Amino acid sequence: MNLRDLRYLLAVTEHEHFGRAAKASGVSQPTLSVQIRKLEDQLGVILFERSSKQAAPTAACLQVIDHARDAVAATEALLASAQSLRDPLAGRFRIGIIPTLAPYLLPLIFAPLREALPALEPEPWEDQTDALLERLRSHQLDAALLATEVDGPDLVSRALFDEPFLAALPPDHPLAARATVAEADLSQDILVLSDGHCLRDQAMEACGQTAALGGALRASSLPTLMNMVAAGYGTTLIPGLAAGAAQDAGLTLRPLEGRPGRTIRIAWRAHFPRRIAVEAIGDVIAERLSSFARGAAAGAV
């Protein structure tokens, strides 16, 4: 059975006339006769009572036609639904973002995203790198903004911008007197985030593996960490985009010698079909952050 046949059935039922139904369906009358006849054979039921005047739907036809209408309506709804999904730059887009980036990046890119991709409905999802990768691989996310390279061959990524690290100090800390700070100097009393944050690993790598082992306090979030530094418990290393928040928290910031930092990347599944949307989002973020990267580089000199 074919949807075309059901449309023919609806047409003949509506017109009660093969010729007019054929014209309305855009086919010839014999075509309609043959197809309706086939349908009748398949169903084992006479659908129309033919006479030289008209083709009257039988009771069986009237009982069957509601289902035909349902089927045709469903396929038309399907088509309409597909129509609205055609634009890869439109619709829901679930994007994961790591916690040390989300609160500082999202406010910067919301407006540009809305302007560049007005039909896109980004749904941010904040979690740590491993969780994001798992959700990405299980199709629960469309893309993710990370500060690390992605492994496996099933995922690919593209660098969007470099985010320098800054030394964050209590205002009365000895290092606050310097214009720039060496990473090694921080390692003495550096505080880091709790397990799972990529920033924790990056900070420890930048300042030497043994750093922070003495610190029993491990903040579960960047704001917490900044408050702990402000309270004088030690120093830390913060990503550049959090500079404003750090200053609001009363921290003193200093560029790091050698300008260490992390690269923010957008990652997606290699076979993800809306790659166009991924690239477009990447473009918007890279464009928006290009001035930031330059400014940070300038400030570090």
- Interacting residues toward its own copies by CB under 8 A: 1-4, 6, 43-46, 49-51, 56, 58-60, 63-64, 67-68, 70-71, 74-75, 77-79, 81-83, 85-86, 91-92, 139, 142, 154, 269-274
51 touches DNA by CB under 7 A: yes
Question: What are the backbone angles phi and psi of residue 155, rounded to the nearest 5°?
Answer: -120, 145
From CA 146, how far away is CA 98, in angstroms rounded? 6
Find which of its own copies, DNA, none residue 45 binds, CB within 5 to 8 Å per kind.
Answer: its own copies
Find which of its own copies, DNA, none residue 78 binds, CB within 5 to 8 Å per kind.
Answer: its own copies
154 touches DNA by CB under 7 A: yes
Nearer to DNA, 27 or 60 (CB): 27
Nearest residue to 189 via CA among 250, 243, 233, 224 = 233
From CA 268, how far away is CA 45, in angstroms rounded? 54
Report the sign of the C-alpha dihedral through residues 182, 183, 189, 192, in that order: positive
How many other CB atoms sit within 10 Å of the CB of residue 5?
17
Which region, judged by CB under 7 A, interacts with DNA, from 75-83, 150-158, 168-176, 195-203?
A: 150-158
Nearer to DNA, 57 or 122 (CB): 57
44 touches DNA by CB under 7 A: no
Give me the helices (H) in 48-163, please.
59-85, 102-116, 129-137
Find which of its own copies, DNA, none residue 67 binds, CB within 5 to 8 Å per kind.
Answer: its own copies
54 touches DNA by CB under 7 A: yes
Burial class (CB in 10 A: 0-12, 13-18, 19+), 195: exposed
Binding site for DNA (CB under 7 A): 2, 4-5, 17-20, 26-31, 33-38, 50-55, 152-154, 270
